[in-house]
Amino acid sequence: MESVCDKLKNGAVEIISDSEFSFLLSSKKELVIKIGFDPTSKNLHLGHLVILKKLLDFQNAGYFIHLVVGDFTASIGDPSGKNTARQSILNSEIKKNYFNYDAYFFKFLDSSRLILYFNSTWFNFMLLSDFVQLLSVTTISRLLERSDFKLRYLNNLPIGIHELIYPLLQSYDSVFLFSDIEIGGIDQKFNLLLARDMQKKFFQKPQVLLMMPILIGLDGKNKMSKSLNNYVALDTDSYELFCKIMSIPDSLLKEYYVIFNFLSPDDFDVLFIDKAVHPMDLKLELAVKIVSMLYDTCVADDVKCKFINRVTQNNFDDLKISEFFIPTENILLSDLLLMLKFVDSLTQFKYFIKSSAISIDDIIVTDRHLTLVIGKVYFFRVGKQKVAKIFLKKSKKQLDDT
Query: pTM (2 decimals)?
Result: 0.77
pLDDT in tens, 154-191: 888 888 888 889 999 999 999 999 999 999 999 999 99
pLDDT in tens, 209-254: 999 999 999 888 889 987 788 899 998 889 889 989 988 888 899 9
**Whether the predicted pLDDT of 49 surpasses 90:** yes
Peptide bond into 17 cis (omega under 30): yes
pLDDT in tens, 329-348: 888 888 988 888 888 888 88
Q: Which has the higher per-residue pLDDT, 282 or 181?
A: 181
**Whether the predicted pLDDT of 42 surpasses 70:** yes
**Whether the predicted pLDDT of 131 surpasses 90:** yes
Q: Report the side by side order of strands in the sheet with 208-212.
A: 14-16, 208-212, 181-185, 33-37, 65-69, 114-118
Average pLDDT, the chain: 87
N-to-C CA span, the chain: 76
Across 22-169, where does the E strand assignment appear?
Answer: 33-37, 65-69, 114-118
CA 340 – CA 94 distance, rounded (Å)? 26
CA 50 – CA 225 distance, rounded (Å)? 14
Cα 33 to the center of its chain, rounded Å: 21
Confidence of residue 83 (pLDDT cuts 50, 70, 90): low
Structural domains of the chain in order of their starting residue, each with its CATH number:
4-212 (3.40.50.620), 238-312 (no CATH), 321-401 (3.10.290.10)
Percent of the chain with pLDDT over 90: 41
Helix (H) or strand (E) holding 351, with range, is: helix 346-354
pLDDT at 202: 94
Average pLDDT, stretch 44-59?
94
